[in-house]
């Protein structure tokens, strides 16, 4: 079954085949509610919390009581940093009818693989232990509210209507963590990303860099938009098949590397391009090196994976 986006809520929207959470479910040997009852206290999860490979079984169990929204993100992902505050604000405004589980795909590769996160930000939901795909990419607040309203209707059809008590600090969290307004050209780029117009977003970031060549956020945003533009419309299985059939074709390998990086599989993306660089003649290596440097910039020069990949690239060059 192919991934679907939640539209008109109905039980058939639940993705029973597109996401494999069986290995994570198997870890739930003692449901959190039972453990809390044995300890003489009721569990009170926060509205917004970090989910990991290790604790995700408890998140699945929680979704049998209250719908759980899962935000798959990464620190290097520009649209992720734009979307996350929107999700947190809307979740807080709903007063405990939904909770938000934040998943760093770099730190939790099993979850990224289970949810088939080909690109991020990816937002899914869990209802009664079953995943429902909501949307991919940064979307405006009003659209988030509309999708979450549909999610609540779907959850009600499944009998999942519980709430999580809202602590006094929850209502202040969004205000305290709110980011300052974006500069005009950055806002223009963000609006273009929301509309799927990556060419206009790239032009806005390029204009910002023309005004201030040291604008690191614009540089990172430009790289991210170019990546999103390249992976838009690509099918992962088709791309992998093409790359397997043409192991020394840079364009075929670039496509899979882009998809891997967009999905959080950073080491896989670097390894693929470094393996290609190693087997190509010297006169054909330049485009591969340029693509590697571009991807290094997206992830961040201080990242351990970039440092390892740079070390291998240097050894291949010299």
What is the residue range of 188's domain?
A: 184-231
For residues 266 and 305, is the Cβ–Cβ distance under 8 A?
A: yes
Number of domains within the chain: 3
Q: Give residue 40's pLDDT.
A: 42
In degrees, rounded to 5, the angle at the alpha carbon of residue 124 between the alpha carbons of residues 122 and 126 is 155
> Which position among 62, 80, 111, 274 bears the catalytic label?
80
Task: Kindly give the interhelix angle for 184-194 and 78-93, rounded to the nearest 10 degrees.
Answer: 80
Residue 168 has phi, psi (to 5 degrees) of -55, -35
pLDDT digits (tens, 9 = 90+) for 289-314: 999 998 988 877 777 888 999 999 99
Catalytic residue selected from 77, 91, 134, 292 = 77
80 in active site: yes
Q: Would you call 96 a catalytic residue per the annotation?
A: no
Residue 178 has pLDDT above 70, yes or no: no
- What separation in angstroms does the CA of 55 have from each of 49, 131, 228? 11, 17, 30
Residue 273: count of CB within 10 angstroms of its CB: 24
Tokens of 44: 């009170």
Q: Hey, what are 83's tokens?
A: 């979307």
Summary mean pLDDT of the chain: 80
Res 55 pLDDT > 80: yes
Residues 148 and 295 in one domain: no
Instruction: Give yes or no: residues 212 and 97 share one domain.
Output: no
Identify which of 312, 306, 308, 223 has the alpha carbon closest to the alpha carbon of residue 276: 312
How does residue 13 score in pLDDT terms, banded at 50, 70 and 90? Answer: very low
Q: Does 76 score more than 90 pLDDT? A: no
Same domain, 171 and 25: yes
Average pLDDT of the residues in 257-286 = 91
Residues 70 and 131 grouped into a single domain: yes
140 pLDDT above the threshold of 90 = no
The pLDDT-based confidence of 44 (bands split at 50, 70, 90) is low
Length of the chain, in residues: 318
Q: Are residues 55 and 22 in the same domain?
A: yes
- For residue 234, the model assigns a pLDDT of 86
pLDDT reading at 207 higher than 50:
yes
- 200-214 average pLDDT score: 92
pLDDT score at 167: 59
* Residues 167 and 222 occupy one common structural domain: no
Q: What is the pTM of this model?
A: 0.51
């Amino acid at each position: 079954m192919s991934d679907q986006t939640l539209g008109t809520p109905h039980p058939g929207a639940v993705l029973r085949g597109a996401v494999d959470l069986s290995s994570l479910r198997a870890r739930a040997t003692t449901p959190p509610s039972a453990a809390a009852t044995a300890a003489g206290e009721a569990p009170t999860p926060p509205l917004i919390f970090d989910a990991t490979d290790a604790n995700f079984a408890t998140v699945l169990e929680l979704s049998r009581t209250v719908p759980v929204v899962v935000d798959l993100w990464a620190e290097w992902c520009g649209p992720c940093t734009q979307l996350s505050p929107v999700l947190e604000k809307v979740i807080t405004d709903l007063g405990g009818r939904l909770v938000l589980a934040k998943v760093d795909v770099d730190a939790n590769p099993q979850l990224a693989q289970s949810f088939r996160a080909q690109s991020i930000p990816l937002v899914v939901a869990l209802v009664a232990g079953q995943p429902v795909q909501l949307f991919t990419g940064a979307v405006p607040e009003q659209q988030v509210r509309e999708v979450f309203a549909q999610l609540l209707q779907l959850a009600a059809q499944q009998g999942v209507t519980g709430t999580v008590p809202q602590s006094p600090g929850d209502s202040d969290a969004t205000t305290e963590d709110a980011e300052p307004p974006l500069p005009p050209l950055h806002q223009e780029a963000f609006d273009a990303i929301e509309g799927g117009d990556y060419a206009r977003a790239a032009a806005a970031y390029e204009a910002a860099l023309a005004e201030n060549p040291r604008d690191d956020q614009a540089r990172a945003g430009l790289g991210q938009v170019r990546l999103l533009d390249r992976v838009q419309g690509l099918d992962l299985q088709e791309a992998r098949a093409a790359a397997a059939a043409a192991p020394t074709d840079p364009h075929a390998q670039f496509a899979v590397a882009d998809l891997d990086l967009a999905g959080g599989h950073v080491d896989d993306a670097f390894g693929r391009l470094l393996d290609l660089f190693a087997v190509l003649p010297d006169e054909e290596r330049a485009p591969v090196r340029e693509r590697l440097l571009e991807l290094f910039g997206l992830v961040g020069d201080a990242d351990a994976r970039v440092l390892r990949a740079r070390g291998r690239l240097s050894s291949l060059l010299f």
